[in-house]
Amino acid sequence: MPPADTVLENPVSFTSVTFIIFFAGLFAVYWLLRRSRWQNLFLLAASFFFYAWVSPWYAVLLAATTAADFYLALGMVRWQNRRKTFLVFSLIMNLGMLGFFKYFNFFSASAAAVLQGIGLAVEPAVVSLALPLGISFYTLKKLSYILDVHSGVMQPVRSLVDYELYVAFFPQVISGPIDRPRQLLPQIQAERRWLPGHFNAAWPLLVMGLFKKLVVADTIKIMVDKIFILTLPGKLLLLCGGLAFTLQVLADFSAYTDISRGLAYLLGFKTSENFRRPYLSLTPTDFWNRWHITLSSWLRDYIFFPLRRALLGRGFASGSAAALILPPILTMLASGLWHGAGWTYILWGLYYGVLIVAYQLLGMGGAWKPKSRLHWLLAWAVMFTWIVLGWILFRSPSVAWLVNDLIHAPLLTSPGEAVAVVVVMTSVIFYSLLMLLPGLLELLPERWRWLESLYLAAALVMVVIYINSTSPDFIYFQF
């Protein structure tokens, strides 16, 4: 995990005081501009200023490669006989850049370890490349645009400013959501006027996002980090750490999405929902339809379906082993590789690929539904167990660390560890209830809906209390 930064040291974090000042100034100027042309130009400049705050050189790289994709897409329309050439060039540029920055350090260290294992004295490369913030997210936005233009699903935009803004839009550029060009570009091109509805839609998202990040995720993170830094935690403590991380990662990532969507609403844009109660899932497919929805749909539309169509086109029957196994396995492997350069991420992706295949073979894929409430409860309990075990693999410092703990660690290593288990589980239950409460309030009759406003007011008070404290980066900043 990346080191924690204070709110004043990380201006790109939505919870930093510096960002709040930045957005307040941007908001005031933005709505003084009456035409979308000037709003877009100003918003683009602000987005690159935001991104360049961390690394000016990576901002230049983002601007240059985005401009290249813009002209490659125009070239596809102008020179129809070279469409595939333009597409290949874009794929090589974008995937090559993503792979180089994301996996250089990983393969350098892995290759050195292999050579050292056979007796060759080789050191990893001295150069350690810093990963450009948001490269995994904005690369997928660029790829969806170039692939949609190539397939004829959409026509290329004619304004470089509009396309650059689509890619670099500051509420999304670091950690999504990964909005498709057909959703966000028409909003960028349309005229925008301030409406009270913008604020009404934004403020609950902003309050809940800040609450989930500052109050829930950052509090649970302290416990999670202390467990996963131990050399050999007891198996029961490891399981508690997995449950705690299960809560932390949902609170943290959904908090970023909530704030991102709230900021977008304040600027007149409606962006995508990214989470839909994922821990109520009954199957692995159901989980990925609810978790990180914009990534899941991207993987489905640009990897899973093309792989399946390619296999069917080569004569494989829809029920054949190849058609059932290869698309989900390769798609989820791509998900693991997208998340990070490490064996834990790769195995985590394969883990979900195997789960999806297993559920399909058991007849529990797609639109499967349980026959009774008892079946629903059992299906949920089993799936939630798989989710927690997956997050333990995802969060572990290394595969070797996890294997060693599973083989050699006792259930509990000491009486003090038993106390830690109680403390962690009490905290997880308490903060989980705080997260569940808004959903429960929605079930109340209309006359009791004022309790939702009371909850948001209490959450806002907690945010004000916590916002002056230090806050670590959002988890998905590292991806």
pLDDT, tens digit only, all 479 positions of the chain: 333 333 334 556 888 888 889 999 999 999 999 899 999 999 999 999 999 987 788 899 999 999 999 999 999 999 988 999 999 999 999 999 998 888 876 655 555 555 555 655 555 544 455 778 889 999 999 999 999 999 999 999 999 999 999 999 999 999 889 999 999 999 999 999 999 999 999 999 999 999 999 999 999 999 999 999 999 999 999 999 999 999 999 999 999 999 999 999 999 999 999 999 999 999 999 999 999 999 999 999 999 999 999 998 887 877 788 888 999 999 999 999 999 878 999 999 999 999 999 999 988 877 788 889 999 999 999 999 999 999 999 999 999 999 999 999 999 999 999 999 999 999 999 999 999 988 888 887 888 878 888 999 999 998 888 876 566 666 666 65
- 292 is an active site residue: no
3-state secondary structure at position 28:
helix
28, 34, 40, 44 alpha-carbon torsion, rounded to 10°: -30
d(CA 129, CA 127): 6
Among residues 150, 198, 292, 339, the one annotated as catalytic is 339
d(CA 189, CA 149): 17
d(CA 196, CA 212): 25
d(CA 389, CA 386): 5
Name which of 344, 348, 351, 346 is nearest 397 in CA terms. Answer: 344
Q: Helices 56-78 and 135-151: crossing angle, nearest 10°?
A: 10
Q: Report whether 184 contacts 294 (CB < 8 A).
A: no
Q: Max alpha carbon distance in the chain (Å)? A: 74
